[in-house]
Copies of this chain bind each other. A is one copy, B any other.
Amino acid sequence: MVETEQLRAQMIEAAEGQLAASPDFDIATRSVCEAVGVTQPVLYRLFGDKRGLLDAVADHGYERYAQLKAAQEQTGDPVADLLAGWDGHMAFARDNPALYQLMFAPRPWSHSRARDRVFDLLVAALVRCAAVGRLRIEPRAAAEMALAANVGIALDHIAEPARFDSVERSHRLRDAVFARVLTESPASDAARDDEDPVRAAARRLRAQLQLAAADALEPEESALLLRWLDRMTGSGSR
């Protein structure tokens, strides 16, 4: 039944369109079914219930989000990519406010992993920064900070789109977060004065290993090495 998958896609697309058009950020299952010419039980067979449909819409929103990110993160400088990623996130929220809220605002009983996948995308971008020695803290901790701040300012902007200095506000918060997350200059000198240089070197090696596995080591050896590096860098958060 390939047609089933096409029908799923059609209903998700219709739901997303109606969600973007709806002023109250909500849709009716009846309306979605009528838009694609099927009856309600079809929806409940394909998605379980309304929440299942919304989860599918949120996951589909991640697909477009990932495409937008993949289309623009191609610079050689990972730090520039990171800053551009913040602005791209804001642009996505501005262009799809209802979908954005569906993806990033807490919904009870939501099974959508859209936010986690965006988190993983951000972690990858931060690991690329760590590989060139520009990251000061663990990538996952940095991603938690940056994503939370980005979502916060984006929801703020959705709630009050009348503000004129929204870009400046966004950049002020962005720079504040990344000033604490990133190092000032390219770490040709890897050692910061107030930190253990051994620890910094270990962190950099771990980032490199996350980007590309070490060919010279067996998988078991790599796993043990990563555990050692975790202990050396004191990463409490998984």
Residues of chain A touching chain B, judged by Cβ–Cβ distance below 8 Å, are 23-25, 97, 101, 105-106, 108-109, 115, 137, 141, 144-145, 147-153, 155-156, 158-159, 165, 168-169, 172-173, 175-177, 179-181, 236-237
Complex CA gap A24/B156 in Å reads 23
- A179 CB to nearest chain B CB (Å): 6
For A109, what are the chain B residues with a Cβ–Cβ distance below 8 Å? 23-24
| Chain A at the B interface: SS class | helix
- A46 CB to nearest chain B CB (Å): 22
Q: Is the CB of A236 within 8 A of B144?
A: no
Complex CA gap A23/B106 in Å reads 12
For A180, what are the chain B residues with a Cβ–Cβ distance below 8 Å? 172, 175-176, 179-180
Q: Is the CB of B108 within 8 A of A155?
A: no
Complex CA gap A108/B169 in Å reads 22
Q: Is the CB of B156 within 8 A of A148?
A: yes
- Contact partner, A149, options B25, B137, B153, Cβ 8 Å: B153
For A151, what are the chain B residues with a Cβ–Cβ distance below 8 Å? 152, 155-156
- A185 CB to nearest chain B CB (Å): 16
Q: Is the CB of A155 within 8 A of B155?
A: yes
Complex CA gap A150/B151 in Å reads 10
For A236, what are the chain B residues with a Cβ–Cβ distance below 8 Å? 165, 168
A-B contact pairs, 8 of them (CB 8 A): A97-B106, A145-B173, A148-B155, A150-B152, A172-B180, A176-B177, A177-B177, A179-B179
For A152, what are the chain B residues with a Cβ–Cβ distance below 8 Å? 148-153, 155
For A24, what are the chain B residues with a Cβ–Cβ distance below 8 Å? 108-109
Residue of B nearest to A238 (CB): B165
Residue of B nearest to A110 (CB): B159
Complex CA gap A179/B178 in Å reads 11
Complex CA gap A142/B108 in Å reads 32
Residue of B nearest to A157 (CB): B148
- A24 CB to nearest chain B CB (Å): 5
Kindly list 18 other residue pairs between chains A and B, CB separation below 8 angstroms, not including A97-B106, A141-B172, A151-B156.
A23-B109, A106-B158, A115-B159, A144-B173, A145-B153, A145-B172, A145-B176, A147-B156, A148-B152, A148-B169, A149-B149, A149-B152, A149-B177, A165-B237, A169-B237, A172-B180, A173-B177, A179-B180
